[in-house]
Amino acid sequence: MYDVIVVGGGVIGGLILRELTKYNLRVCLVEKANDVCMGQSKANSGIVHAGYDAKTGTQKAKFNLLGNRMMEKVAQELGVKYSNIGSLVVAFSEEECSALQTLKERGEKNGVSGLRILDREELHRMEENISSEAVAALYAPTGGIVCPYSLTVAAVGNAMDNGADLHLLFEVEKIEKTENGLTVSAKDGRALQGKTLVNCAGIKSGEIAAMVGDEINVNGRKGEYILLDRESGGFVKHTLFFAPTEKGKGILISPTVDGNVLLGPTAEEVDDGNTETSGAGIETVMEKARKMCKNVPFFNTITSFAGTRAYAAEHDFILRESERTEGVFHCAGIESPGLTAAPAIAEHVVKNLLSTRLKLEKNKNFSPYRKADYFFKDLSREEKNELIKKDPSYGKIVCRCEGITEGEIRRAVRENPPALDTDAVKRRTRAGMGRCQGGFCQSQVMEIIAQERGVALEEVTKKGKNSYIIRGRTK
């Protein structure tokens, strides 16, 4: 019998799982996919928002600010890349200049520090590639960037290192109240017993809520992106936003923690978790990016992708116990700034919600640190030599674009949570994330996965289910 079953391996479920392992509790995470971080947490802008955008008094405003303040420490503990680059909301007209003032006042009410309106001259000094049409900007020095998938994977890995269980390919389809707690059943017939459950199922959190008799409407809004190669790194120095509209924060241009440049996302209503990109979507991103900056280096585009925001009708985070089933807690409608807010949401859910049903006793053995999540290429020459002496597989480069070694790939398949397919390796190591997008290294990555897992090469998939890469042997 688990004390807590967390449903959904996104950044919210992952950080809640980690928070739970700080206490003497038996906990697990169930995830319907064959890896964690397969929902919106893997395809978003990776911005640690300062907190001026959310309406004052909302859960979003509260947890955005708290999460922003916690992110650097959490990222450090988990060995995840984070950078406090600051953000700029750029105005192109008189009307937008007054919107900046409104945002600044709201931010100050929300508790955001250091907000400042920049005039044209200062803005152009700070961002040399900004459009000549840009007239002013709101500068938020507390804005930052983080790697969203590294954060999620590391949070789950750290929780597992601290004793949590992970059940992959466990698609929850039924939750029943029993005498002692709950029975949570998966589509494939597996069942787990738990005293309590936390619903962190993203776009499906409304469906999980319905399983316990609650009505929460969660809808999807797709956002498409373009990613530029690291050769364009430095094109912008801060995260650049347009002034927000009813539909959200609009398209942004931002550096990523890995030195790429991200352009997007669009905003299109969708019924499900649809993450297909489209010609029209990419055109929209390009058009808006051209408005924000001059000479955008689109020739350095290496890929496009999309993510789907899961939003509730009230456009605020829903963090509460079920109205119908005691011991079930919902984290629903966690749209942007959900990534930023995640560490603070996790702490709140455990300390203020689950604590009403469970006794929280500190786990004296809890370690907040993830085993070193180093990238070989970032090590000094001495450190590299030391590592190669211990394990010669670190001396062989597999992904030439990103400089990723065989040792790093083997480690990704072995450590918690294990990478079972090529996309999972890519999210953990960046092998296949560079200019050739895996064109050269994918076959070698497949071989390493097959060896490590003791399966045939034909069984190695790209992203679980039936996404086989090769059909069979010709000779």
Ligand X SMILES: Cc1cc2nc3c(=O)[nH]c(=O)nc-3n(C[C@H](O)[C@H](O)[C@H](O)COP(=O)(O)OP(=O)(O)OC[C@H]3O[C@@H](n4cnc5c(N)ncnc54)[C@H](O)[C@@H]3O)c2cc1C
Which lies closer to ligand X via its Cβ, residue 335 or residue 402? Answer: 335
Answer yes or no whether residue 156 interacts with ligand X by CB under 6 A.
no
Q: Considering the complex, what minimum distance in angstroms separates the CB of residue 116 from ligand X?
A: 21
Of residues 76, 17, 16, the one with CA closest to residue 372: 76
Of residues 307, 349, 355, 323, the one with CA closest to residue 42: 307
Q: Considering the complex, what minimum distance in angstroms separates the CB of residue 13 from ligand X?
A: 5
Nearest residue to ligand X, by Cβ distance, number only: 338
- Contact range with ligand X by CB under 6 A, out of 9-17, 191-199, 380-388, 405-413: 9-17
Answer yes or no whether residue 144 interacts with ligand X by CB under 6 A.
no
Residues numbered 166 to 185 that lie near ligand X (CB under 6 A) are: 170-172
DSSP state letter for 369: P
Q: Considering the complex, what minimum distance in angstroms separates the CB of residue 149 from ligand X?
A: 10
Answer yes or no whether residue 199 interacts with ligand X by CB under 6 A.
no
Rounded-to-integer distance, Cα 223 and Cα 309, Å: 8
Check: CB of residue 429 under 8 Å from CB of residue 448.
Answer: no
Which lies closer to ligand X via its Cβ, residue 97 or residue 169? Answer: 169
Strand 191-199 and strand 182-186: the pairing is antiparallel
* Residue 265 preceded by cis peptide, ω within 30: yes
Select which of 49, 238, 330, 348 is catalytic.
49
Q: Considering the complex, what minimum distance in angstroms separates the CB of residue 180 from ligand X?
A: 22
Please indicate whether residue 167 is annotated as part of the active site.
Answer: no
Answer yes or no whether residue 432 interacts with ligand X by CB under 6 A.
no
Of residues 42, 48, 108, the one with CA closest to residue 252: 48
Residue 276: which residues within 8 A CB-CB, separation 6 or more? 306
Helices within 354-403 (DSSP H only): 381-390
Answer yes or no whether residue 431 interacts with ligand X by CB under 6 A.
no
Q: Which of 54, 156, 164, 201 binds ligand X (CB under 6 A)?
A: 201
Residues numbered 221 to 240 that lie near ligand X (CB under 6 A) are: 223
34-43 burial code (b ≥16 CB/10 A, e <16):
bbbbbbbbbb
Angle at 123 between CA 115 and CA 73, to 5 degrees: 45
Q: Which of 4, 5, 11, 312 binds ligand X (CB under 6 A)?
A: 11
Which lies closer to ligand X via its Cβ, residue 146 or residue 401? Answer: 146
Q: Considering the complex, what minimum distance in angstroms separates the CB of residue 349 from ligand X?
A: 11
379 three-state secondary structure: coil
Rounded-to-integer distance, Cα 453 and Cα 10, Å: 24
Q: How many helices and strands (H and E) does the chain possess?
A: 12, 22
- Contact range with ligand X by CB under 6 A, out of 307-315, 357-365, 368-376, 443-451: 307-315
Rounded-to-integer distance, Cα 31 and Cα 167, Å: 6
Binding string to ligand X for residues 36 to 55, with x set by CB under 6 A, is what?
Answer: --xxxx--xxxx-x------
Q: Considering the complex, what minimum distance in angstroms separates the CB of residue 421 from ligand X?
A: 15
Residues numbered 252 to 271 that lie near ligand X (CB under 6 A) are: 265
Q: Considering the complex, what minimum distance in angstroms separates the CB of residue 362 from ligand X?
A: 26
Answer yes or no whether residue 348 interacts with ligand X by CB under 6 A.
no
Rounded-to-integer distance, Cα 179 and Cα 199, Å: 20
Q: Which of 202, 206, 327, 343 binds ligand X (CB under 6 A)?
A: 202
Which lies closer to ligand X via its Cβ, residue 349 or residue 401? Answer: 349
Task: Read off φ and ψ for residue 136, nearest 5 degrees.
Answer: -165, 170
Rounded-to-integer distance, Cα 340 and Cα 48, Å: 5
Which lies closer to ligand X via its Cβ, residue 307 or residue 407? Answer: 307
Check: CB of residue 135 under 8 Å from CB of residue 91.
Answer: yes
Answer yes or no whether residue 30 interacts with ligand X by CB under 6 A.
yes
Rounded-to-integer distance, Cα 50 and Cα 354, Å: 28
Residues numbered 64 to 123 that lie near ligand X (CB under 6 A) are: none
Answer yes or no whether residue 209 interacts with ligand X by CB under 6 A.
no
Give the tokens for residue 66: 């708290």
Angle at 428 between CA 422 and CA 429, to 5 degrees: 85
Size of the residue set binding ligand X (CB under 6 A):
40
Q: Which of 2, 13, 282, 300 binds ligand X (CB under 6 A)?
A: 13
Answer yes or no whether residue 336 interacts with ligand X by CB under 6 A.
yes
Q: Which residues bind ligand X (CB under 6 A)?
A: 7-13, 30-33, 38-41, 44-47, 49, 170-172, 200-204, 223, 265, 307-309, 334-340
Question: Which residues belong to the active site?
Answer: 49
